[in-house]
Chain A
Amino acid sequence: MTLYGKRYARLNKRLALVVDDEAVNREMLGFILQDDYDILPAGDGREAMRLLRERGADISVLLLDLLMPVMSGFDVLHEMRTLEAARDIPVIVLTSEARAEVECLKLGAVDFIKKPYNAPEAVLARVNRVVELFEDRQLIEAAENDPLTGLYNRAFFYEYAGQRDRQLSDCEMDAVALDIDRFRLLNEMNGRAYGDRVLRAIGGVLAGFAGEHDGLAARCGSDLFYLYCRHQESYEPLRRRLGQVLDELSDAVRIRVRFGVYPAADKEMEMEHRFDRAKAACDAIRDDYKQCVNVYSDELHAREVYAERLMNDMGEAIASGQFCVYYQPKFNIRGEEPVLCSAEALVRWRHPELGFISPGVFIPLFEQNGLISQLERHIWERAAAQMREWKDRFGVSIPVSVNVSRIDLYDPNLGQWFAGLMEKYALSPGEYWLEITESAYTEDTAQLLAMVSALREAGFKVEMDDFGSGYSSLNMLFMMPVDALKLDMKFVQNIEKSGKNREIIRVLMNLAGCLGVPTIVEGVEEQEQVDMLKSAGCDIIQGYYFSRPLPPEEFERFIKGGKEEC
């Protein structure tokens, strides 16, 4: 029975474990309590422990005699402390020995009933009061605490942290956020039970550290912890302590915990805001494996302010046409002469005040917070409209590929949306390519497989973008239906320097050949690269060697040049 179950039991009766070696005393106490309690009798401490182990979750109160044969009440109090099932049961000691009271209180008893018993009404009222106070306390704790780690939850943490500020008004306090790297993968690879042990271990260390430094700790997300404590010059001792505890859990699994610190937090600032800053510092070193502790800085603050500005401005930027779509041509190099075969639509942002903003800045930002969907739909439509215009003006079809973020693939209406777009601009899905980054394929495989299959069945062509940069397994590659593999430009950038990369590219070309799909390499800049890729069997090249991404009017020179062979 849960805590709530025990409380619900009020509608029926709670269960009281009455432990006394004297049957007369047990029966008399049971008789006194019988209107409000079902009685579980035990004649000695050992029997009591057995019942606590078996039915601890159902028991609302333990009434315990001290002097008993076999196992005394003192021994029961000792042993109960190590028994999880008995931890939440209040103990009332039955005694005529006033001098035993202090020791019993130290061992965790919450009240006493004197022998001989007082008036039954007084005994019953006393037991009920203890049980109700205990249950109320448990309800409050359940509301305040994360059940897995016992740390505060977010809402109560902020409340108590505010109280701590008032209590320690002259003391500098740090806001610290801690996050476990790739916790979802840790859970998947080692099991949920292992993940829970990791969380409990971290919770234990943080609770201890908080206690030593006038602090508080909370678990605020699946693997996000907050710590509010006296200012520390360094969090290295805490990081080492955490490392030791986590190493003890397993030699084989390496766990990285990132720290973000907003030091000597400005107490005028709202508590949530202080921890937003600590978390921003923590998030900023997500990909920096050399650094585990990051302190919030002015530079980070400026980046945050900038990011906030971009997010706020995006809607207006779409409405006022600040986003431009550029087109980078892709050339087929299989023949003697390279032939224009398609283009990739790439977004550019010309901000009226901030100037040109790199997509490398705003796209990851919009991907993080979901704004990317709105922007991408805008780009998809602009690209479709452009294709229509080129068709009408030049009478040719230039296939254009657009980027599709992982988040869009979770939209069950995506296929319908694209179908509507094709209808609106009278395009066929075969000339509209979708670039899906390889890393998207590593999550929720079944759902992605279903979505990509549905899009292909509707006639759209799918390119696996950034192939080779992520973690796709070969199995995944064979399962996932694609129409082209697009290699990450990082492979190409060092192509002349590294013999290994050249070999890897050959292997990838062969792999594409086995799958029966063409390869596209982007980021190609040099003649040597083109020659090498051509000899390796590459089909299509995109990059500055042929052209940078161009605004539509400039791209038209390729169309007008009559080089297209679509």
Chain B
Amino acid sequence: MLTIDALRAWGANVDEGLTRCCGNEAFYLRLAGMAAQDGNFARLEEALGAEDYSAAFEAAHALKGVLANLALTPWLAPVSEMTELLRGRQKADCAALLSEARRQRDAFVALCKG
């Protein structure tokens, strides 16, 4: 089960995320759990695989918004960088960033599963 401490230990800026949720830990953790289910990461991987950079940008941009609001910093950082790389909606080398983002996403999902 996801906890505040686990998120903090993983590197999330829990205080910032909690502030946006008016200090309500249960609400924050519920939203964080929803982020684990977010389909945008899968869409991002798929779009990059298909070299559809426009779709890739939209997925990265949407995911970035969610992760930023929740302050899930370790996962947010590579996604933010990818969003900027893809902003021109043209071919970009995102392999390393995607790999890092996948690693952080997996770590976060593992936290959620407790």
Contact = CB atoms under 8 A, between A and B. Distances in A.
A117 to B, nearest CB: 5
Contacts of A25: 65-66, 69
A28 B34 CA distance: 12
Given A24-B35, A116-B71, A32 B62 contact: no
Contacts of A32: 20, 22
A96 interface: yes
Contact of B65 (A69, A115, A119): A115
Contact of B68 (A27, A116, A119): A116
Nearest to A119: B19
Contacts, number: 51
Interface in B13-69: 19-22, 24, 27, 31, 34-35, 38, 40, 58, 61-62, 64-66, 68-69
Contact of A24 (B19, B38, B61): B38
A120 interface: yes
A120 B20 contact: yes
A96 B65 contact: yes
Contacts of B58: 67, 69
A189 interface: no
Interface in A5-27: 21-25, 27
Contact of B69 (A28, A67, A69, A119): A28
Contact of B66 (A24, A31, A69, A120): A24
A119 B64 CA distance: 18
A22 B66 contact: yes
A116 B20 contact: yes
A116 B21 CA distance: 12
Contacts of A96: 64-65, 68
B86 interface: no
Interface string A80-118: 000000000000000010000000000000000001110
Contacts of A24: 31, 34-35, 38, 66, 69-70
Contacts of A31: 21-22, 24, 27
B22 to A, nearest CB: 5
Interface in A467-521: none
Contacts of B19: 119-120
Contacts of B27: 31
Contact of A116 (B22, B31, B65): B65
A24 B64 CA distance: 12
Contacts of B65: 22, 25, 96, 115-116
A115 B62 CA distance: 11
B57 to A, nearest CB: 9
Given A115-B69, A116-B71, A28 B20 contact: yes
Contacts of A28: 20-21, 31, 69
B31 A27 contact: yes
State which size class the interface on B falls in. 20 to 34
B71 to A, nearest CB: 7
B112 to A, nearest CB: 14
Interface in A39-56: none
A124 B38 CA distance: 26
B114 to A, nearest CB: 20
B20 A117 contact: yes
Query: For B19, B21, B64, B66, which residue has the most chain A Cβ atoms within 10 angstroms?
Result: B66
Contacts of B61: 67
A116 B65 CA distance: 6
A116 B62 contact: no
Nearest to A97: B61
Nearest to A96: B65
B66 to A, nearest CB: 5
Query: For A23, A24, A32, A117, which residue has the most chain B Cβ atoms within 10 angstroms?
Result: A24
Given A115-B69, A116-B68, A22 B62 contact: yes
Contacts of A23: 34
A277 B71 CA distance: 70
Interface in B85-99: none
Contacts of B62: 21-22, 67
Nearest to B40: A22
Interface in A114-131: 115-117, 119-120
B50 to A, nearest CB: 17
Query: For B35, B40, B61, B62, which residue has the most chain A Cβ atoms within 10 angstroms?
Result: B62
A115 B35 CA distance: 16
B64 to A, nearest CB: 8
A119 to B, nearest CB: 6
Nearest to B20: A117
A485 B63 CA distance: 89
A25 to B, nearest CB: 6
A115 B80 CA distance: 13
A125 to B, nearest CB: 14
A119 B16 CA distance: 9
A314 B1 CA distance: 96
B76 to A, nearest CB: 9
A31 B19 CA distance: 12
Contacts of A67: 58, 61-62
A287 B34 CA distance: 76
A32 B69 CA distance: 12
A292 B4 CA distance: 80
A31 B23 CA distance: 11
Interface in A55-73: 67, 69
Nearest to B55: A69
A115 B67 CA distance: 10
Nearest to A65: B65
12 contacts: A22-B40, A22-B66, A24-B66, A25-B69, A28-B20, A96-B64, A96-B68, A115-B68, A116-B20, A116-B71, A117-B20, A117-B69
Given A22-B66, A27-B31, A67-B58, 18 more contacts: A21-B62, A22-B38, A24-B31, A24-B38, A25-B66, A25-B69, A31-B24, A31-B27, A32-B22, A67-B62, A96-B64, A115-B65, A115-B69, A116-B20, A116-B68, A117-B20, A120-B19, A120-B20
Interface of B: 19-22, 24, 27, 31, 34-35, 38, 40, 58, 61-62, 64-66, 68-71
Report the 3 A-B pairs with minimum CB-CB distance, sorted nearest first.
Answer: A116-B68, A116-B69, A24-B66
